[in-house]
């Protein structure tokens, strides 16, 4: 039975627009032999506006008051107010157990605003799932700035991948107990497109070179995700399920449910498994580094012995449980700090035990899994200083008999970094050591700095990304004798850790899009002749069968116009205005305008937008009320700034990454 207050109808205009754009972005860049399946209309499952004067199923999480309010409203005259909160995790919650179907991707959207008089803060949207008396919490939208003056929209996707006996969505604050309003909550799902069966399987394309893998969670082993995974990949890496916080959250109380599900799926389907990871400074519970009464362990011999015995017990349990099902282990993860003269990260592991935790970890792993390949894994191994410190550590430890078989290169890279030459130098550096090498966590972010944020990946970025995949895989294939596998950190763009790291924004770093369809990046590996040879795609409205007759992609340099005017200037200061016109035919819901100041100018205050400045680089995003920028529409904002020797015009205006004409 569905709750009586829900109402459902088809067509959610915002979502629909996004879905169309996503289709066009792929279509613009890749002339496929057959058009990818088109997205159907999103289906609205829940909609709460509070206009009927009830809380529409929303309740408090624990003791705070949740009641309808007419003090402010996002739409209409009513909202919901949570007050009397005594903890940041309290807030309005809605039960979803009867509404969410496991394996379906839902978009949850809610508008939030702090009550009058509250100081600015941060809010997030989360889901609580309960199972057999234990609760887990998943973030749907990460910490987002909010004030008492404007509504902010939190919108993100969620897939339930566990069996649960309780499920709810809720809004909480990052800290503090401010009273907050919510309004216009919706939950919708996008009917999925079929997994493409008329494109080559990646694993067949790469069969002569190396096995190809993907990081997975529970949701990748059900439904269409599982179909896609089996079709294209040879190996999997559980992305979180084998980490210490997942397997032994409290001492001696092991939890195997998620790891068993994922390793079991792999075994049943003939996929090899990379075990990730046994010892790391993150996702390790605090108890590991404290004694039984909570005192932090020190480097005293007794404390050190306790730590190493815990490490040994952990490895015996985790590695022992999976036996031959896991043939490669990331025994140690991210242990290098290139800024230390000995190259070793000052983690709690190191502080308490020196290098002995590494000796113990590899020795015990070898004893329990004598035929498994044992790896040390790290990020930024292309950076020469880090690469060399890792190489020195591996050669030092191997010389003393520590059983390290291989070096894992994470390869969390982006569309412009690192260079192919530097990546090649990375692979070459380890050849003299006689170790195996694997690429273990590759993804290619569409962002080049933390200030960028695109609601939908721009077509030119996806194309640049395709070139990066093309060139990096061409390099890997040249080094196929050294590389014993290449793993991507995820299966498709609907589920990537980069959506919240290093900042919250939608990223698209993988080979398949949010609807599981092959991206230009996929073709960059599989058949580079299929990606447009010019980095700036210009697709005419009649370019091919995959372009919607009603939506024309415009990604060329004429997609926007920026008119910059200094309206007032005085010694040391100035006031300016910027008008940006969307001269493309694509409406933008949420936008980023960027430019660069040539003379060290600094913005002190900006109105009609939110500004971030990083040195000369400026990025402006909308306020709550001007995020919609229709085709032909204009946004205008103004600011106060400072200057010293000169105040020349900014350069490099872009709208969502597309260069703007000026004037
Ligand atoms: C990431 C997971 O993908 C996220 O789900 C989790 O919240 C944080 O960790 N380097 C690693 C991986 O070695 O374990 C990390 O995985 C990504 C960076």
Query: What is the secondary structure of 258-313 as a DSSP string?
Result: HHHHHHHHHHHTT-EEEEEEEE-SSS--GGGGB-TTSPBP-SSHHHHHHHHHHHHH
Q: Which residue has the tokens 């990460």?
A: 142
Cα dihedral sign for 443, 444, 448, 450? negative
Tokens of 240: 């979180």
**Which residues on adjacent β-strands are paired with residue 360?**
none
Give the residue whose CA is nearest to atom 12 of ligand 1: 239
| Alpha carbon 549 to chain centroid, angstroms | 32
Mean pLDDT by 10 residues, the chain (663 residues): 35 33 31 44 92 96 97 97 97 96 90 97 96 92 95 93 93 97 94 92 98 97 96 98 98 97 98 98 98 96 98 98 98 98 98 98 98 98 98 98 98 97 98 98 96 93 97 98 98 95 95 96 96 49 27 46 86 87 82 90 84 88 82 86 88 86 83
**Is the Cβ–Cβ distance between 280 and 274 less than 8 Å?**
no
Can you say whether the dihedral through the CA atoms of 4, 16, 189, 503 is positive or negative? Answer: negative
What are the pLDDT digits (tens) for 429-453? 999 999 999 999 999 999 999 999 9
Residues taking part in catalysis: 334, 378, 441
pLDDT for the residue numbered 39 = 55
Phi, psi of 287 (to 5 degrees): -60, -25
| Helix, strand, or coil (residue 461) | helix
Residue 380 half-sphere exposure toward CB, CA atoms < 13 A: 10
**DSSP for 601-655, written as a single string:** -EEEEEESSEEEEETTEEEEE--TTS-EE-TT-EEEEEEEEE-SS--PPPEEEEE
Question: Residue 503 class from Cβ within 10 Å (0-12 exposed, 13-18 middle, 19+ buried)?
Answer: middle
**How many angstroms is it from 639 CA to the middle of ligand 1?**
39
Q: Which two tokens stand for residue 252?
A: 């001696």
What gap in Å lies between CA 589 and CA 628, rounded to an integer? Answer: 4
Mutate to test the pocket of ligand 1, among 126, 216, 218, 240 (most ligand atoms within 8 A of CB): 240
Residue 441 Cβ contacting ligand 1 at under 6 Å = yes
Q: Tell whether ligand 1 has an atom less than 6 A from the beta carbon of residue 333.
A: yes
Whether 458 contacts 656, CB under 8 Å: yes
For residue 639, what pLDDT is reported? 87
Tell me the C-alpha distance between 149 and 117, whole Å.
9
Q: Does the beta carbon of 239 lie inside 6 Å of ligand 1? A: yes
Q: b/e per residue, 21-58, with b = 16+ CB within 10 A?
A: bbbbbbbbbbbbeeebeebeebbbbbbbbbbeeebbbb
Q: Which residues pair with 311 in a beta bridge?
A: none
Smallest CA-to-CA distance from 531 within 472, 463, 474 is with 463
> How far apart are the CA of 240 and the centre of ligand 1, in A?
7
Beta-sheet strands, E only, within 447-559 = 483-488
Give the three-class secondary structure for 561: strand
Ligand 1 centroid from CA 179, angstroms:
33
| CB of 500 shorter than 6 A to ligand 1 | no
- 41, 187, 560, 595 from 12: Cα distances, Å: 8, 10, 27, 33
**What does DSSP assign to residue 512?**
B
- Give the helix ranges, DSSP H, for 323-413: 348-353, 356-368, 384-399
**pTM of structure:** 0.66
374: its two tokens: 């044992």
Strands, E, within 11-117: which ranges?
Answer: 43-48, 65-69, 79-83, 93-95, 105-114
Task: Answer for the pair 557, 658: CB distance below 8 angstroms, yes or no.
Answer: yes
What CA–CA distance (Å, rounded) separates 345 from 496? 26
Assess whether the C-beta atom of 410 lies below 6 angstroms from ligand 1: yes
Cα 62 to ligand 1 centre (Å): 31
Does residue 218 contact residue 262 with C-beta atoms inside 8 Å? yes
CA 49 – CA 185 distance, rounded (Å): 7
Cβ atoms of residues 115 and 80 within 8 Å: no
Determine the pLDDT at residue 34: 38
Query: What's the confidence (pLDDT) of residue 567?
Result: 82
pLDDT, residue 493, reads 97
């Amino acid at each position: 039975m569905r709750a009586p207050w829900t109402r459902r109808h088809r067509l959610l205009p915002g979502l629909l627009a996004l879905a169309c754009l996503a289709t066009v972005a792929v279509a613009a860049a890749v002339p496929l032999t057959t058009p990818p399946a088109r997205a159907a209309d999103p289906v609205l499952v829940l909609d709460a506006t509070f206009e009927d004067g009830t809380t529409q199923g929303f309740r408090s999480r624990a003791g705070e008051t949740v009641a309808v309010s007419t003090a402010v409203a996002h739409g209409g005259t009513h909202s919901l107010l949570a007050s009397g909160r005594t903890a940041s995790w309290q807030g309005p919650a809605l039960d979803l157990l009867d509404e969410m179907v496991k394996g379906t991707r839902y978009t949850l959207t809610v508008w939030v605003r702090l009550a009058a008089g509250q100081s600015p803060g941060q809010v997030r949207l989360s889901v609580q799932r309960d199972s057999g008396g234990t609760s887990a919490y998943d973030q749907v939208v990460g910490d987002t700035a909010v004030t008492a003056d404007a509504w902010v929209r939190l919108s993100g996707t969620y897939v339930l991948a566990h069996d649960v006996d309780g499920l709810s969505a809720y809004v909480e604050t990052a800290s503090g107990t401010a009273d907050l309003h919510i309004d216009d909550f919706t939950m919708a799902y996008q009917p999925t497109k079929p997994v493409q069966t008329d494109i080559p399987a990646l694993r067949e394309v790469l069969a002569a070179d190396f096995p190809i893998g993907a990081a997975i969670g529970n949701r990748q082993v059900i439904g269409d995700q599982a179909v896609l995974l089996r079709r294209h990949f040879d190996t999997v890496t559980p992305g979180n399920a084998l980490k210490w916080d997942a397997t032994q959250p409290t001492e001696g109380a092991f939890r195997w449910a998620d790891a068993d599900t994922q390793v079991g799926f792999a075994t049943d389907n003939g996929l090899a498994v990379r075990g990730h990871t046994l010892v790391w400074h993150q996702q390790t519970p605090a108890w590991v580094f404290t004694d039984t009464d909570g005192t932090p362990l020190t480097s005293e011999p007794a404390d050190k012995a306790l730590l190493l015995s815990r490490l040994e017990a952990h490895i015996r349990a985790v590695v022992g449980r999976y036996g031959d099902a896991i043939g490669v282990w990331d025994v140690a993860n991210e242990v290098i700090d290139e800024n230390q003269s000995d190259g070793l990260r000052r983690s709690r592991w190191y502080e308490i035990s020196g290098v002995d935790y590494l000796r113990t970890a590899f020795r015990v792993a070898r004893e329990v899994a004598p035929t498994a390949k044992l790896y040390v894994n790290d990020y930024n191994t292309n950076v020469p200083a880090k690469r060399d410190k890792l190489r020195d550590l591996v050669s030092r430890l191997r010389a003393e008999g520590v059983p390290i078989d291989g070096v894992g290169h994470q390869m969390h890279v982006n569309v412009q970094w690192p260079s192919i030459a530097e990546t090649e130098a990375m692979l070459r550096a380890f050849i003299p050591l006689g170790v195996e090498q694997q690429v273990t966590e590759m993804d290619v972010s569409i962002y080049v700095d933390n200030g960028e944020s695109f609601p939908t990946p721009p077509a030119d970025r996806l194309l640049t990304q395709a070139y990066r995949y093309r060139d990096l895989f061409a390099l890997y294939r040249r080094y196929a004798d050294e590389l014993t596998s290449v793993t991507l950190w995820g299966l498709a763009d609907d589920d990537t850790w980069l959506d919240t790291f290093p900042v919250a924004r939608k990223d698209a770093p993988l080979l398949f899009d949010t609807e599981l369809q092959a991206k230009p990046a996929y073709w960059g590996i599989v058949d580079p002749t299929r990606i447009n040879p010019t980095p700036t795609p210009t697709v005419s409205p009649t370019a091919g069968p995959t372009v919607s007759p009603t939506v024309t992609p415009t990604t060329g340099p004429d997609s926007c116009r920026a008119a910059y005017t200094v309206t007032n200037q005085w010694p040391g200061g100035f006031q300016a205005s910027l008008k940006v016109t969307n001269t493309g035919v694509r409406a933008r819901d949420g936008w980023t305008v960027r430019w660069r100041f040539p003379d060290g100018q600094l913005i002190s205050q900006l109105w009609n937008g939110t500004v971030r400045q990083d040195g000369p680089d400026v990025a402006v995003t909308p306020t709550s009320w001007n995020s919609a920028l229709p085709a032909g529409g204009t946004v205008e904002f103004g600011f106060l700034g400072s200057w010293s020797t000169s105040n020349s015009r900014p350069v490099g205006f872009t709208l969502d990454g597309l260069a703007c004409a000026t004037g």
